[in-house]
Structure 1
Amino acid sequence: MRHPMPKARGLTLIELMVAITVAAFLLMAAAPHFADYSNNSRLREGGTTLQTETLFAQSEAIKRNRVVRLTTSGSTVQVLEAQDPANMTLLRERTLAGGVTAATATVDFTPRGYPVNRAVNPSVDFVAAAIDLGLPGVTCSSEQRCPGLRVDAGGGIRLCGNKLSGC
């Protein structure tokens, strides 16, 4: 007498291979977007670091009642006490992570927190400043959003999500 076979449970090898093939096609379709996501994330992190250092420079100028300078060069951001430009004191130095670079720029904040261009007129020339960020080998576009930091002449500091979209 034959015993009835128990009902099969689980996946067959063919079902498993089909699922793996579908997953592989989905990953291949999404792979280019992973690189965009990674680059955008690194640029956004660099922008946030630059904005934090700019706010720090402005608040230190107000707190110390002295001129404080923010300088960017490559991936280095420095905040210096610059009351006497011939004898500046380094307050803080940060490196932008992930290979992000910033345009070379210098912004001096007065004891009231306003940005000035001391090279042109050290006492009254309130100026706006723009510092754009980039990543070597990456062309900024609507998909690759390179942020830009803007310091308004009135002292407002904002980080634009994409420097190309009129921030």
Structure 2
Amino acid sequence: MLTLPTKQQGVTLIELMIGIVIFAILLAIALPNFSAFIANSNIRNAAEAMQNGLGLARVEALRRNTQVNFSSGVDSSTDSSWAVGCTAASASCPAVIMKRVAAEGSTQAQVATSEVVASTGAAAGTTVFTNTLTFNGLGRVIASTLATADNAVYDISNSGGGTCAVAGGKMRCLRVIVTPAGQIRMCDPALTVSKPTDPQAC
């Protein structure tokens, strides 16, 4: 009587080792791209939060018909933390309406503020803006926190992610611009030269 050979169940040690080697190779290939993805996500989260916070300050100023401050770097001068609050704090208008800490999705993000001439984009000669913008009841930025011919600029980068694309690196650093009229937009400074008609370009 013939006996059929039994089927092998499971995997052999050699098959397991080959699988581990293939997985390690794929992980080594994907890891640099994954690190760049995480760093870019940090920048995007911080920039969107900055834009949302500025929008909140403007809306609260319109809604309450009073001056409302947006202050960046409240935890550290270069991190992505910010706070929105009334200039003249009262029971109906608190000194802190909302606050965001840097640990909320953008721990590595760094923010640099500057003031530029609106018509040319060049650095302003005499600056008023530091890290606080004040919106009035009409939704405009008051002249004591931003000169009427200049824009406030928040440049968001990543401290551990490397060099920004505008300087030849891989990081997609972003910029949030606020005009004296209270318009707020986010853009990509790397697109200024290569694609000047791109809506995302600064």
Match of 1:129 in 2: 152
1:99 is aligned to 2:126: no
Identity of aligned residues (%): 29
For residue 159 of structure 1, give the secondary structure of its aligned residue in structure 2.
strand
* Deviation for aligned residue 1:132: 1.1
Of residues 144-153 and 99-108 in structure 1, the stretch that sits farther from structure 2 once superposed is 99-108
Q: 1:77, 1:120 → 2: CA distance?
A: 18
Q: 1:58, 1:126 → 2: CA distance?
A: 19
Q: 1:59, 1:19 → 2: CA distance?
A: 56
CA-to-aligned-CA distance 1:17-36 (integer Å, 9 cap, x gap): 22221111111111111211
Match of 1:4 in 2: 4
The 5 Å alignment of 1:1-167 reads 1-73=1-73, 74-75=78-79, 76-82=81-87, 89-97=95-103, 98-104=107-113, 105-118=131-144, 125=148, 127-138=150-161, 139-141=163-165, 143-160=170-187, 162-166=188-192, 167=202
* Deviation for aligned residue 1:56: 0.7
Q: 2:45, 2:145 → 1: CA distance?
A: 31
For residue 150 of structure 1, give the secondary structure of its aligned residue in structure 2.
strand
Of residues 4-13 and 69-78 in structure 1, the stretch that sits farther from structure 2 once superposed is 4-13
- The answer for unaligned runs of 5 or more in structure 2 is 114-130, 193-201
Contact 2:108 2:160 in 1 (8 A): no
Instruction: Give the 4+ runs in structure 1 shifted more than 4 A.
Output: none
Contact 1:49 1:96 in 2 (8 A): no
* Deviation for aligned residue 1:89: 2.9
Q: 1:81, 1:127 → 2: CA distance?
A: 23
Q: 1:99, 1:4 → 2: CA distance?
A: 63
Sort the Cα spacing of 1:70 and 1:120 in 2 relative to 1 into closer, same or farther, 3 A.
closer
Q: 1:14, 1:120 → 2: CA distance?
A: 68
* Deviation for aligned residue 1:10: 4.4
